[in-house]
Structure 1
Amino acid sequence: MRQPRDTPIRTAPFDHPATPGWPEQQGALLLRGLATAIVHLSEVPNPGTFALPYAAPVQQALDGVVLTRLLMKADPPESVPQLVEWCARFPIDNLPFPTPTGIAPPDSRLLDEETRQPNRICYELALSGVDPTAQQIGRQAMEDAAELCRESDSPDIYQAFRELLVTRPVLTGRELALLPADGKGLEVLAAPLRALYLPVPASHLNRDTRTYTACGRCRTLLHPTVHGGLVCERDTCPARGAVERGREYRADDIDGGTYQLIRPLRQWVSEPGVLEQQLAERLRKYGAAVQLWPSYGSYGLHVRSPQGKSWAVEVKDWSSAALLGASTRPPTAGPPYDRCFWAVPRVRLQQDTGYRNRFRLHGTGPGSLQLELVGIDDLVGIAHRERAALPDPGAPTGHPLPVEGLF
């Protein structure tokens, strides 16, 4: 039987469960509901078997937009397909109904024009409201995994579990079935794993070759585009150049099918986890001691800096600085710390020069003043300067800092 705990444990299955500081005006509510509907539609396992009536979140979003357009004395969308087309065609700040300013980066859309799949910002907006089904399942499964490892006093199994989610976002059915026998103790987590890896939907399938293709950089599956190309769902991958094709998975049943992490975990666990591993290695080069995912995931990295200070660090890769700011809550569990950092990839600060300002403007959550938003490179720079200031640093202070990569 599970015993009650005196201290709340945050298992960090996602960045946060909601954004209570996000403004509740009508435009914000409408946009959040629309994003939730788009995510809900994308999670239909087989669109070919879809039938009316629409699920409640979808119908509510359509009703809200129709009513708003009628009050504007403008033509409403005639159907859900037309509403979906608006989401792919119009930037969020130019949708044909009022939306809050400063919530989304300029020119961002809820749906990718090439793949007709929800963008990162769409999931960020949806997460700030009522959770779509896959997010609820994913959060519960992550919490269950942390609790099972805690009950058996097995931090090493939890570390192996997080490593799996980071390095293997795609598995064949045979690989998934064999995971409990890989010698890492994952048999304890067989049930949560079955909820986190689901069959790949047809939207990823190359119908000519009957294969799914993984990204050669990040290992997530590539999306076919409407023009016959391939694109990675992680927007930092296309920023590095042409698509790199990785492993191919057959759509037949020879290997038991193909499974992938559900999208919320790919976006908020796997992707930041890769960057956290990378950050840990960079910090260690300057004498920092780093523990990944301490206390069963209470936060991302516990760092003992070169001068002996304790840092709580989490990598946050959010396109919306406003939504990230509204979620500011330093960790309340895990190893104690002197400073708390949220580290964001360089690409976010380059794409949006006002990112830090928007984060601070919306940072009204509990403990927001104690939380420091920095670039990943900036955090490495702090460790570098601390090491250089020691009497005998013993570190390469005269060489350039290691450059932040993606993976």
Structure 2
Amino acid sequence: MTGPGADRTTTPADDHQGTALFAELARSVVALAAREQLRSFALPYPRSAQRVLDRMVLYCLDRGWAPPRSVPEVMAWCAEHTAGGPLFQVPAEFLSPEARLIDPVGRLPSRICLELASHGPQGQVEQEAVDLLTDLAARCGSAERYSRCRRFLADRPVIGQRDPFSDGSHWNPALWKRVKDLYEPVPEYLLSSRVLALCGTCGLPGLSFGRRAAGPGTWCESEHCPPGVHFRLIRDPGRTLLLRRSLRIFLCLPGPTEFAALAELSRAGIGHDLVPAALGAHFVHTLAAAPYLLRTYDRLEPALLASRITNTPVDATADTLVVVPRRQADRPGYRSAFATALDDDCRRRTMLTTPDELVRQIGILHSSRKGNAHA
């Protein structure tokens, strides 16, 4: 089943040889990680891994460099070489120069890897999340049931034996029946000494490597949580279920931003309706004749986010508010890089904002509409 991610195009940077190869490597890293092969490298490899090794060899030979000799060596390069380094030279307006595909501490796909592996016509990870939610919406049969199920997933990336599977104060077996196939056993690569560590800040899986608190030498799937917060350690992970990784990254991670934005709208008395076949999309109803479109994300790479907004339009004519966490919006150059990467038409009707700015920005858009109507 295909949701809004079906209509995807490329950007000019995709024609750059180093960029295209870096993106193909991202997809191969994801494929190997899904088969728990980033550490053991057990044969056989996915076809994509062998294909990208062949491309890496040719790419290096064309430039007079010593090529990698094996898939494990290619993966080692993914933890060592950065996007903007001399090997790939990915344009800085497309990807952060310091971006790596494999986190050097966790030895797992980085968030940037997952974002890049979701980009373009061959994108995978985010598209899987969209398809899973689209299928869930169809099975729920009503917007209200789907909204409850979606909120359950966003709030519970991890389900343990003692979790109540509750909807309010009571166990809801009907809800659990609809969502349980989206959970799976804990994979070996997320265990350290047979223990599952959950980040004490975001609640997503981490790797503690024997340490009690987050800090140097530990890893968290969100990659942004502060040091010093103690991990929650699960010593019997066989009785624990994890939400699928695509949903943890593209639903749970932006969840706090989305729900903060909706809370701001509710406080201001502004109505909103969830768009089922999308990630974090809502129509916002004001006194304006046409609703605004609210799209919520937590993305590290502004150019990849802009490409997503441009090439997966929920409504190609609606004025769109793209809400991101404050920590992203305030990064130097993030807003300008996002705006620059949008096409001209999309840039005219798209505004990047944060939950705390949202209501004020809607007021600005509303005033602009009224001014244009009287012009």
Q: State the TM-score bracket (shorter-chain normalisation).
A: 0.7 to 0.9
Aligned length: 355
> Does the 8 A contact of 2:264 with 2:355 survive in 1?
no
1:378 paired residue among 349, 352, 357: 357
1:174 is displaced (CA, Å) by 7.5
Q: Is residue 342 from structure 1 mapped to residue 330 from structure 2 by the alignment?
A: no
Partner residue of 2:296?
315
One-letter identity of the residue aligned with 1:186? L
1:116-148 deviation per Cα after TM superposition (whole angstroms, max 9, x unaligned):
11111111111114245x666544332211111
1:320-363 deviation per Cα after TM superposition (whole angstroms, max 9, x unaligned):
21122222143239xxx963211122222332x22233223322
> Does the 8 A contact of 1:214 with 1:221 survive in 2?
yes
Counterpart-to-counterpart distance in 1, 2:344 and 2:365: 30
SS of the aligned residue for 2:253 comes to: helix
Instruction: Give the share of equivalent positions with the same residue, in percent.
Output: 28
Partner residue of 1:288?
270
2:245 paired residue among 234, 242, 263: 263
Counterpart-to-counterpart distance in 1, 2:237 and 2:209: 22
1:258 is displaced (CA, Å) by 2.0
Matches within 5 A, 1:84-95: 84-94=75-85
TM norm structure 1: 0.75
> Does the 8 A contact of 2:197 with 2:208 survive in 1?
no
Partner residue of 2:114?
123
Matches within 5 A, 1:19-34: 19-23=8-12, 24-25=14-15, 26-34=17-25
Change (3 A) 1:215 1:202: same
Matches within 5 A, 1:2-401: 16=5, 19-23=8-12, 24-25=14-15, 26-45=17-36, 50-94=41-85, 96-129=87-120, 130-132=122-124, 138-149=129-140, 152=141, 154-172=142-160, 182-183=171-172, 185-186=174-175, 189-190=178-179, 193-194=180-181, 196-207=182-193, 210-224=194-208, 229-237=217-225, 241-251=226-236, 253=238, 257-291=239-273, 293-295=274-276, 300-305=281-286, 310-327=291-308, 328=310, 329-332=312-315, 339-351=319-331, 353-364=332-343, 367=346, 369-382=348-361
Counterpart-to-counterpart distance in 1, 2:84 and 2:56: 15
Counterpart-to-counterpart distance in 2, 1:308 and 1:218: 39
Counterpart-to-counterpart distance in 1, 2:314 and 2:22: 29
Counterpart-to-counterpart distance in 2, 1:104 and 1:48: 26
Change (3 A) 1:28 1:91: closer
One-letter identity of the residue aligned with 2:248? R
Of residues 47-56 and 24-33 in structure 1, the stretch that sits farther from structure 2 once superposed is 47-56
Partner residue of 2:373?
none
One-letter identity of the residue aligned with 1:325? A
SS of the aligned residue for 1:148 comes to: helix
> Does the 8 A contact of 1:138 with 1:265 survive in 2?
yes
TM norm structure 2: 0.81
> Does the 8 A contact of 2:299 with 2:305 survive in 1?
yes
> Does the 8 A contact of 2:206 with 2:219 survive in 1?
yes
Change (3 A) 1:137 1:198: farther
1:17 is displaced (CA, Å) by 5.1
| Superposition CA RMSD, Å | 3.5
Counterpart-to-counterpart distance in 1, 2:176 and 2:344: 38
Change (3 A) 1:249 1:295: same
1:45 is displaced (CA, Å) by 4.0
SS of the aligned residue for 1:116 comes to: coil
